[in-house]
A and B are shown apart, each in its own frame.
Chain A
Amino acid sequence: MTSRRFRRLAWKGIGFLFTAIAFLVIYTPIVVILALSVNSSVRGYSWDGFTLRWYSDLFVTDAMKAPIVNTVAVALFSTLIATVIGTLFAIGINALDKKRRVRMMVLNNVPVVNPDIVTGISLMIVFSLLSLTLGFGTVLIAHVFFSIPYVVLSVIPRLKKLDPNMYEAALDLGCSRFTGMWKVILPNIATGILAGALMAFTMSIDDFVITYFTSGSEYMNVSTWLYASISRSRGFTPAAYAYNAILFVIMIVIIVFVNTRKDKKEKEIIA
């Protein structure tokens, strides 16, 4: 009996050890980025002392202005569009009979599983076929395209929990279709929509591969700008690290806010 307890403890220890290793490996680049954002050295080859210069540079130098504006604009717009369209698609898919629903979900998950490079090339082909000029528009469409499946995947589980009779009842009691949707369905799937939007935003703001293939040579987001800078081996301003650190903090604040709000809501429901 004691050997069994000992074995369990040993396994727990191994689990703890592996978790520690995982966190160490995953956080190493993050710590390096944060350190580089306060390192005086321009090229980052040595530690030249603490500075906040790159954070103020971020708002002064022009080099990163366009890439940052582009990244944020595409992320905000694509999140908004993908969340609205994706939610409507999810509502439609959920209303299908089981066989069709499964088929649609299979289709939905193709872009999720497909390697980014294949998605990027596919989109590039469609855009050149339609003779669209590569730039903001094509990047926006591309981001909407790869974000929608994540919104659908986040919203569907919520819809499944929703009693289908509620919507019918609302309509029977004289609600218009729009009011039925607005007052019955949407409030019940709101957490799923929010999770989907957050996912879409996360995917968009960090995207490199798909933007790279759909943006042409003029339009750049932060990732493609970084790639162009390091490929030409002239390096980039450490303000990029500062940008990343600021974004990082904003995202953490958002997630903490969303989580505490969720906790409160769940408590209210229980009470």
Chain B
Amino acid sequence: MRRLRPYAIPYLAWMAIFILVPTIILVILAFSDLELYDPGPFAGTLANFSVFAAPLVLKSISNSLSLAAATTGVCFVIGYPVAYFLATLPEKTRHVLMSLLIVPLWSNMLLRIVAWEKVFTPDSFFTDLFGFSFDLLGTHAGILIGMVAMYLPFMVFPVFSVLEKLDRGLIEAAKDLGASDTQTFLRVVFPLSSGGVVSGFIMTMLPAMTSFVLPARIGLGRIPLIGNVIESKFMKEVLGSSGVSINEGALISLALMVIAVAAFVLVIRVDKEGETLI
């Protein structure tokens, strides 16, 4: 197989172009006042850091962190038992139910968000059909429910894939050696599933933290997240309106990247080749 190795080389070049280059550019933009389309002499500055003092940015950071933490927490509390329960079912049922968890992901994300808007609007078509509805537009609770619905499968998948492969013999062995059910779970099953749990945490937390359509729609724009700030910094620049700093957007993106890298290092520690990522 050695002679097949060259196939991996272009991948390095590909990744350099699309990961390394933009990261360098983001760093340059974040620590200067250069424009994206106007490469001038580079003069380093820390002025862009003042963006973190803006009330709107501070508020969106705290919104992002609290909503992402809540979403991840709820997804874990619901998702782990679901993954555990599904993993104990007979093979056929298990596969059917897992497929049923994947199927909703094929519905357009924006339409799913619009659907939640309808559910959370008092007296909508939903009321006509089901006789009740919620009044959750513009609230944290509404965004939280929307996010849980959106990202819960990404907690269930990795945990399930680890639990499914778990060696049943280990559980038997623990029981034979006198462990109670609780002990078996806490000291054998859960530690062995930690790789899936870490993947699940990251696959729900990062998207929740950076989402921008969902908070804009369900939150009615009243609850900005960090994604909304980045979007406004970058897209208005591209669309040509003035007074928006792409440099500040680059700095915030870079901060997000640092968080992603930290999360990533955590994944690598438990799962070197990313087998729990899909």
Contacts and interface: CB of A to CB of B under 8 A. Distances in A.
Interface of A: 4, 7-8, 12, 14-16, 18-19, 21-23, 25-30, 32-33, 35-36, 39, 41, 44-48, 88-89, 91-96, 101-102, 104-118, 121-126, 128-129, 145, 148, 150, 153-154, 156-157, 164, 167-168, 177, 181, 199, 202, 205-206, 208-209, 212-213, 217, 222-223, 226-227, 230, 240-241, 244, 247-248, 251-252, 255, 259
Interface in B1-24: 1-12, 14-15, 17-19, 21-23
B153 interface: yes
B198 to A, nearest CB: 11
Nearest to B84: A15
Contact of B17 (A26, A126, A128): A126
Given A27-B104, A33-B111, A106-B268, A95 B230 contact: no
27 contacts: A12-B88, A15-B88, A18-B82, A22-B152, A26-B101, A26-B153, A29-B107, A29-B112, A30-B103, A35-B129, A36-B118, A44-B125, A95-B8, A101-B273, A102-B272, A102-B273, A105-B273, A111-B18, A114-B206, A115-B210, A117-B227, A125-B25, A125-B26, A126-B18, A145-B14, A227-B110, A241-B111
Given A102-B273, A244-B111, 13 more contacts: A12-B85, A28-B149, A29-B116, A33-B107, A36-B125, A88-B7, A106-B272, A110-B19, A114-B206, A114-B257, A115-B260, A126-B25, A223-B109
Interface stretch (B47-55, B135-143, B166-174, B231-239): B231-239
B99 interface: yes
Contacts of A248: 103, 106-107
Contacts of A109: 264, 267, 274, 277
Q: How extensive is the interface on chain B, given as a class?
A: 35 or more
A167 B205 CA distance: 42
A29 to B, nearest CB: 4
Interface in B215-261: 217, 227, 230-231, 234-235, 238-239, 249, 253, 256-257, 260
B125 A255 contact: no
Given A117-B212, A118-B210, A227-B213, A124 B126 contact: no
Contacts of A199: 278
Contacts, number: 273
A122 B107 contact: no
A118 B11 contact: no
A123 B260 contact: no
B111 A150 contact: no
B162 interface: no
B5 A30 contact: no
A241 to B, nearest CB: 7
B260 A114 contact: yes
A244 B107 contact: yes
- Chain B interface SS verdict (over half): helix
B125 A41 contact: yes
A161 to B, nearest CB: 13
A124 B253 CA distance: 13
Contacts of B11: 89, 92-93, 104, 107-108
Contacts of B86: 19
Contacts of A247: 106, 108
Contact of A113 (B109, B124, B153, B263): B263
Nearest to B210: A115
Contacts of B114: 226, 230
B101 to A, nearest CB: 7
A18 B152 CA distance: 12
A175 B136 CA distance: 66
A14 B253 contact: no
A164 B79 contact: no
Contact of B115 (A14, A32, A177): A32
Given A44-B118, A116-B210, A22 B277 contact: no
A35 B1 contact: no
Contacts of B278: 112, 150, 153-154, 199
